[in-house]
Amino acid sequence: MPYFHVVFTLPAPIADIACQNKAVIYDILFTASAETMTTIAADPKHLGARIGITSVLHTWGSALTQNPHSGYQALSSP
């Protein structure tokens, strides 16, 4: 089944705040990114579909530096 891979990355200044306030910042990241995904997917100019999404929090980049981001895999159904 076709899917889309989408990544939402926190800007560096906010990533620094996330070190001290993980629960708050990551909740905002997941809420905002999920709302963005479902809103854009529902728009007929884009997919015009209701999507199912799975998100994973990654806190470190491949270079082992702090890089908080959420990765989504989205399946669509018209």
pLDDT interval class at 65 (50, 70, 90): low
pLDDT tens for 3-32 read: 778 889 888 888 888 888 989 988 998 999
pLDDT tens for 40-52 read: 989 999 888 888 8
Domain boundaries, the chain: 3-77
**What totals of helices (H) and strands (E) does the chain contain, helices first?**
2, 3
